[in-house]
């Protein structure tokens, strides 16, 4: 189950450099079909870094230097659950997110647990959210979570869920400003478990 050892950063950076050189040398850089490339995760990751850096001038890859670990202390049936999505989701009544990744919109919206399918809007231009526009539960399963709480599989639904923007070139404000404030809110709400979903 462990994801395997991480490459030391200098080695990873060397591999990324190698891929940048290969991409630069290839006339079809990003036009090659996926089957031309291996399933190697280092390669996939390096290609993503190259792609992101080429599209987003302010792109900065940041990883967790220390990984925190808070295993559950009570059964799921006794746990209060909150949802968080970085798919650019908000209530229609809340201000739209900035969709330009360079502007690094680190704002967030608290979404009351009573919110229903017709209450949402999605601001994001990097993935197809047509399904989630029709049925928010494919991305932020607010109704499904209420149902699991009603049957007792889940202990309870937190009073507030969280919506954020996903495409952020420089995550500094997100990491050092937004995330700690979010965590404070979730703690104040007595949340035991958070499910995070992308767009």
Provide the binding-site residues for other proteins, judged by CB under 8 A: 1-4, 6, 12, 41-42, 44-45, 48, 61-64, 66-72, 75-76, 79, 81, 84, 86-87, 127-132, 134-135, 137-139, 141, 143-145, 147-148, 153-154, 164, 166, 171, 174-175, 178-180, 182-184, 186-187, 191-199
**Alpha-carbon distance 49 to 52, whole Å?**
5
Work out whether strand 193-197 and strand 120-122 pair parallel, antiparallel, or are unpaired: unpaired
Contact 121, 177 (CB under 8 A): no
Q: How far is the CB of 27 from other proteins (least distance, A)?
A: 25
| CB atoms near residue 165 (< 10 Å) | 27
Q: How far is the CB of 126 from other proteins (least distance, A)?
A: 8
CB-wise, 3 or 24, nearer to other proteins? 3
Q: How far is the CB of 71 from other proteins (least distance, A)?
A: 6
In the 8-state DSSP scheme, what is residue 198? -
Contact 192, 70 (CB under 8 A): no
CB-wise, 10 or 27, nearer to other proteins? 10
In the block, tokens 């709480």 appear at 149
Return the SS3 of 28: coil
CB-wise, 51 or 91, nearer to other proteins? 51
Q: How far is the CB of 10 from other proteins (least distance, A)?
A: 14
Contact 178, 107 (CB under 8 A): yes
CB-wise, 27 or 70, nearer to other proteins? 70
CB-wise, 72 or 96, nearer to other proteins? 72
Q: How far is the CB of 29 from other proteins (least distance, A)?
A: 19
Contact 54, 61 (CB under 8 A): no
């Amino acid at each position: 189950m462990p994801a395997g050892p991480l490459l030391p950063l200098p080695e990873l950076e060397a591999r990324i450099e190698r891929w940048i050189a290969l991409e630069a040398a290839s006339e079809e850089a990003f036009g090659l079909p996926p089957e031309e490339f291996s399933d190697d995760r280092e390669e996939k990751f390096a290609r993503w870094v190259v792609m992101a850096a080429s599209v987003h001038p302010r792109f900065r890859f940041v990883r967790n230097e220390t990984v925190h670990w808070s295993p559950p202390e009570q059964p799921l049936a006794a746990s209060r659950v909150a949802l968080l999505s970085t798919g650019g989701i908000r209530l229609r009544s809340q201000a739209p997110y900035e969709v330009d990744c360079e502007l690094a919109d680190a704002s967030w919206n608290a979404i009351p647990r009573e919110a229903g399918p017709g209450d949402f809007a999605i601001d994001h231009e990097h993935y197809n959210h047509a399904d989630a526009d029709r049925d928010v539960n494919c991305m932020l399963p607010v109704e499904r979570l209420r149902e699991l709480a009603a049957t007792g599989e889940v202990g309870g639904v937190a009073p507030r869920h969280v919506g954020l923007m996903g495409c952020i070139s420089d995550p500094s404000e997100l990491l050092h400003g937004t995330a700690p404030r979010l965590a404070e809110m979730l703690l104040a709400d007595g949340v035991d478990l958070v499910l995070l979903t992308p767009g």
